[in-house]
């Protein structure tokens, strides 16, 4: 069943995001002005486990989703009756987490008799680039670097993507998170490694740059994490306690590890630009908040004379505002049906 209500109210979209461990709600108008953007992080709940625990995440979403929506409406100074559509992330992600947002969105759409649109979270990470510039950034090559995904796309438009490459094992954010754990740093690992790396030497250890040779646009990060483990505890057989590292060694390892990840990401972007002939590169997802990556992407823009648009830091990590790509879908008449199910699991080329 779908709700085909006309868009005859003020042009305000309520967007809901709950695909992983952030409960988020935002109000965005048709000109992509963000009226409010509420993110209730669950980092404090997952930190003790060193990563996201799906069952803990979905229970926390249940507790936080209504307060997050209330806060988003209140901060925007609007009520339910001012809304013209509801957008929600339906894929990819953790099934229990997705279902919480999806149920809230369907319920509101049904009660308010307004259209309901479902959004692909990975594509929304790239739409965050469009939101920051307010000009048309498509067509472009798009790199999504998050906790669950490392994907390269040829983006023909905001809603027409062809996948060029994906990770064949760990995602870039996962490499940061797992690396941080080995270094005794807290979750989430990306910001922790970035902080530790600030006083380290990126040339201290030459970590491998996997799948860099040849034309392929796939990524592999799991070997990098193993190299870090060997660097910390040596290569002898058997599981051992990780030795305590002094802060300057942690800083050097963090800086060298971060440099290896950034090198690979930037090199693959360069290849994808060469292959497609696109003049614009879009970069989104949590890892895109990394300052060293942003610096190196700036260099790429200058060297290749291409336009590089990296999502602003507050729209890199998970948020609901980027689900405003729903406006593009609505324009094409893409309303979702109320029997839509969550589509969990990561997106991979194979």
Q: For Zn ion, give the closer residue by CB, 146 or 227.
A: 146
Residue 287 in contact with ligand KG4, rule: CB under 6 A: yes
Q: What CA dihedral angle connects 7, 37, 32 and 294, to 10 degrees?
A: -150
In the region spanning residues 97 to 156, those forming contacts with Zn ion, defined by CB under 5 A, are: 146
- Binding pattern for the stretch 311-340 against Zn ion, x by CB under 5 A and - elsewhere: -------x----------------------
Q: Residue 83: which of 115, 61, 49 has the closest Cα? A: 115
Strand, helix or coil for residue 30:
coil
User: Of these, 101, 115, 147, 210, which contacts ligand KG4 (CB under 6 A)?
Assistant: 147
- Nearest distance, CB of residue 330 and ligand KG4, angstroms: 23
- Binding flags for ligand KG4, 17-46, as an x/- string (CB under 6 A): ---x--------------------------
Q: Nearer to ligand KG4 by C-beta: 12 or 255?
A: 255
Measured over all CA atoms, what is the biggest interatomic distance in the chain, rounded to whole angstroms? 68
The stretch near ligand KG4 (CB under 6 A) out of 43-51, 203-211, 286-294, 320-328 is 286-294
| Residue whose Cβ sits closest to Zn ion | 146
Say how far apart CA 266 and CA 315 lie, in whole Å: 20
**Minimal distance in Å, beta carbon 318 to Zn ion?**
4
CB of 192 to ligand KG4, least distance (A): 8
Rounded CA gap, 28 and 125, in Å?
A: 15
Shortest Cβ distance from residue 193 to ligand KG4 (Å)? Answer: 7
Residue 22 CB-density burial (10 A; 0-12 exposed, 13-18 middle, 19+ buried): buried
- Looking at the Cβ atoms of 112 and 197, the one nearer to ligand KG4 is 197
How many residues bind ligand KG4 (CB under 6 A)? The answer is 19
At 172, list the tokens. 């870039």
Binding mask 225-264 for ligand KG4 (x = CB under 6 A): ----------------------------------------
What is the C-alpha separation between 311 and 140, in angstroms, rounded? 14
Closest distance between Zn ion and the C-beta of residue 345, in Å? Answer: 14
Query: Is residue 83 involved in binding ligand KG4 (CB under 6 A)?
Result: no
CB-facing half-sphere around the CA of 121: CA atoms within 13 A:
36
Cβ-Cβ contacts under 8 Å for 135 (sequence gap 6 or more): none
**Under rule CB under 6 A, residue 177 binds ligand KG4:** yes
Q: Among residues 96, 142, 179, 286, which is the contact residue for ligand KG4, using CB under 6 A? A: 286
Give the sign of the dihedral formed by CA 103, CA 105, CA 110, CA 111: positive
Strands, DSSP E only, in the chain? 12-17, 22-29, 34-41, 85-91, 116-120, 140-145, 150-157, 160-166, 280-284, 307-310
The answer to whether the Cα torsion of 39, 45, 50, 56 is positive or negative is negative
Q: Which of 148, 179, 200, 210: binder of ligand KG4 (CB under 6 A)?
A: 148
DSSP character for 219?
A: B
Minimum distance of ligand KG4 from residue 284's CB (angstroms): 8
**Alpha carbons 110 and 77: distance in angstroms, whole number:** 22
Site membership for ligand KG4, residue 179 (CB under 6 A): no
Q: Which residues bind ligand KG4 (CB under 6 A)?
A: 20, 146-148, 173, 176-177, 188-191, 194, 285-287, 289-290, 317-318
Q: Which residues bind Zn ion (CB under 5 A)?
A: 146, 318
């Amino acid at each position: 069943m779908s709700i085909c209500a006309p868009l005859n109210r003020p042009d305000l979209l309520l967007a809901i995001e709950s695909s992983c461990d952030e409960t988020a709600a935002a109000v965005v108008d048709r000109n992509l002005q963000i009226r409010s953007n509420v993110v209730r992080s669950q980092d404090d709940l997952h930190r003790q486990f060193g990563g996201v625990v799906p069952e803990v995440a979905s229970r926390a979403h249940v507790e936080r989703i209504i307060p997050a929506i209330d806060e988003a409406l209140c901060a925007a100074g609007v009520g339910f009756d001012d809304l013209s559509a509801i957008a929600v992330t339906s894929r990819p992600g953790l099934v229990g987490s997705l279902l919480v947002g999806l149920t809230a969105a369907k319920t509101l759409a049904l009660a308010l008799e307004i259209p309901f649109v479902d959004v692909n979270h990975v594509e929304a990470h790239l739409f965050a680039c469009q939101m920051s510039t307010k000009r048309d950034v498509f067509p472009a090559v798009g790199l999504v670097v998050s906790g669950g995904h490392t994907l390269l796309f040829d983006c023909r438009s905001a809603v027409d993507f062809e996948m060029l490459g994906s990770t064949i094992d760990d995602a870039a954010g996962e490499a940061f998170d797992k690396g941080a754990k080995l270094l005794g740093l807290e979750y989430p690992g990306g910001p922790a490694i970035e902080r530790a790396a600030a006083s380290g030497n990126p040339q201290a250890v030459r970590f491998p740059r996997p799948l860099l040779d040849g034309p392929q646009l796939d990524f592999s990060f799991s070997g990098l994490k193993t190299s870090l483990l060997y660097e910390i505890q040596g290569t002898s057989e058997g599981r051992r306690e990780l030795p305590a590292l002094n802060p300057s060694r942690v800083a050097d390892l963090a800086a060298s590890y971060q440099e290896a990840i950034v090198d690979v990401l930037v090199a693959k972007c360069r290849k994808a630009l060469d292959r497609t002939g696109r003049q614009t590169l879009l970069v989104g997802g949590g890892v895109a908040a990394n300052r060293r990556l942003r610096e190196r992407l700036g260099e790429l823009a200058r060297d290749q004379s291409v336009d590089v648009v990296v999502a602003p830091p507050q729209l890199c990590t998970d948020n609901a505002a980027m689900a405003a790509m729903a406006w593009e879908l609505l324009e094409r008449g893409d309303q979702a049906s109320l029997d839509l199910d969550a589509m969990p699991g990561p997106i991979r080329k194979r």
